[in-house]
């Protein structure tokens, strides 16, 4: 790579940008929260594949005529032919059967329904256990990287990983995108990708660290800049191939995994960004602090 861009010099700004994003996320989560789907809120969600355009009002009326209490009806699908009916209270299997019959007799035999009814407790438990699992996994990652590299790398990598996962949650909260169960799987994928991506750059830094003698702060910055530049093509190409797959899934994969793939796309972009602009930079800051401490200590030792 012939790029002469100085990745390290402006690291303060990257930190500030990420910090602001994280703060926005915290505020957004505290004020707006997440747009929790049925999976987390409890209740029922019925997806009716009408097969032609329809009016949301009409569908709502149809459901009300059966004595049901639909919360909201929204339109989805590429051809705007899917009605999504949310029920705050779980609907019974008898009601679902009634609804199926009513829809099929009104809109034709080809109408297909999809239903999920959830006691929110179950998915909350799943989300909680996923969160704990990620935190414990972070500890495992820290231990492994500390053994193979050093603690500073481990700390930076895990911070970047949590940063990525949190920012995806932030975006979903900010734009009020509905969160369902596969969202957890998406977050986990991002965690896996983010750590993978970061390690490759760290590996190069470790490699170059052996070759260069670090005397002053500038040496560290030059070395990290070089490492990032050397791995830049790989970083870009890798994220491009994975992104291509994710975008193909987003466009052609159908309605039911759309929010899952959206989370992936956002997470992949953040993951690639954080490996270069956050993880590596945190390491630089840590390393420089260590160097300064040593320098301070060194003259003191001499005097004594």
The token duo for 275 is 């490996």
The number of residues that bind other proteins (CB under 8 A) is 73
246 contacts 260 by C-beta, under 8 angstroms: no
Binding mask 32-61 for other proteins (x = CB under 8 A): ---------------x-x------------
In angstroms and rounded to an integer, the radius of gyration of the C-alpha atoms of the chain is 25
Residues 228-247 close enough to bind other proteins by CB under 8 A: 230-231, 233-234, 237-238, 240-242, 244-247
For 80, left (φ over 0), alpha (ψ -120 to 50), or beta?
A: left
Q: How far is the CB of 134 from other proteins (least distance, A)?
A: 8
Residue that the structure tokens 């032919």 belong to: 81
* Cα 226 from Cα 139, distance rounded (Å): 29
Q: Is 191 in the site for other proteins (CB under 8 A)?
A: yes
Q: Is 132 in the site for other proteins (CB under 8 A)?
A: yes
Q: Is 64 in the site for other proteins (CB under 8 A)?
A: no
Return the residue of 83, 99, 103, 184 that touches other proteins, per CB under 8 A.
184
Q: Report helix, strand or coil for 69.
A: coil
* Cα 3 from Cα 32, distance rounded (Å): 42
Return the residue of 72, 74, 196, 218 that touches other proteins, per CB under 8 A.
196
Pairing of strands 43-49, 82-87: antiparallel
Q: How far is the CB of 145 from other proteins (least distance, A)?
A: 7
Q: Is 147 in the site for other proteins (CB under 8 A)?
A: no
Nearer to other proteins, 71 or 182 (CB): 182
* Cα 30 from Cα 27, distance rounded (Å): 5
Q: How far is the CB of 295 from other proteins (least distance, A)?
A: 31
Q: Is 118 in the site for other proteins (CB under 8 A)?
A: yes
The token duo for 130 is 């996923």
- Other C-beta atoms lying within 10 Å of the C-beta of residue 3: 11
Alpha-carbon dihedral 155, 158, 159, 165, rounded to 10 degrees? 180
Residue that the structure tokens 């035999």 belong to: 109
Nearer to other proteins, 28 or 154 (CB): 154
246 contacts 27 by C-beta, under 8 angstroms: no
> Near other proteins by CB under 8 A, which window of 10-18, 22-30, 56-64, 188-196?
188-196
Q: How far is the CB of 297 from other proteins (least distance, A)?
A: 31
* Cα 182 from Cα 260, distance rounded (Å): 6
Q: Is 123 in the site for other proteins (CB under 8 A)?
A: yes
Residues 197-216 close enough to bind other proteins by CB under 8 A: 197, 199-200, 203-204, 207
Q: Is 16 in the site for other proteins (CB under 8 A)?
A: no
Q: Is 5 in the site for other proteins (CB under 8 A)?
A: no
* Cα 56 from Cα 71, distance rounded (Å): 12
Return the residue of 257, 269, 286, 291 that touches other proteins, per CB under 8 A.
257
Residues 265-304 close enough to bind other proteins by CB under 8 A: none
């Amino acid at each position: 790579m012939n790029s002469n861009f100085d990745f390290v010099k402006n690291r303060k700004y990257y930190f500030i940008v990420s910090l602001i994003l994280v703060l926005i996320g915290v505020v957004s989560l505290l004020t707006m929260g997440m747009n929790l789907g049925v999976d987390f809120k409890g209740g029922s969600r019925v997806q009716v594949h009408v097969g032609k355009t329809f009016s949301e009002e009409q569908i709502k009326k149809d459901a009300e005529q059966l004595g049901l209490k639909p919360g909201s009806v929204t339109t989805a699908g590429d051809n705007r032919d899917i009605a999504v009916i949310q029920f705050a209270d779980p609907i019974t299997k008898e009601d679902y059967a009634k609804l199926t019959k009513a829809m099929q007799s009104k809109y034709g035999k080809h109408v297909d329904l999809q239903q999920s009814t959830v006691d929110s407790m179950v998915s909350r438990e799943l989300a909680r256990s996923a969160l704990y699992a990620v935190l414990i996994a972070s500890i495992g990652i820290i231990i492994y990287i500390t053994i193979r590299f050093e603690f500073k790398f481990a700390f930076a990598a895990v911070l970047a990983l949590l940063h990525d996962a949190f920012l995806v949650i932030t975006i979903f909260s900010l734009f009020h995108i509905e969160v369902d169960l596969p969202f957890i799987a998406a977050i986990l994928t991002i965690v896996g990708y983010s750590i993978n991506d970061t390690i490759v750059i760290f590996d190069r830094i470790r490699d170059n660290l052996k070759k260069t003698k670090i005397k002053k702060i500038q040496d560290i910055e030059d070395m990290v800049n070089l490492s990032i530049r050397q791995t830049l093509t790989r970083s870009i190409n890798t994220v491009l191939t994975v992104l291509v797959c994710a975008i193909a899934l987003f466009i052609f994969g159908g309605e039911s995994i759309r929010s899952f793939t959206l989370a992936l796309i956002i997470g992949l972009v953040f993951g690639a960004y954080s490996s270069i602009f956050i993880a590596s930079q945190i390491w630089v800051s840590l390393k420089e602090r260590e160097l300064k401490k040593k320098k301070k200590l060194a003259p003191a030792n001499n005097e004594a």
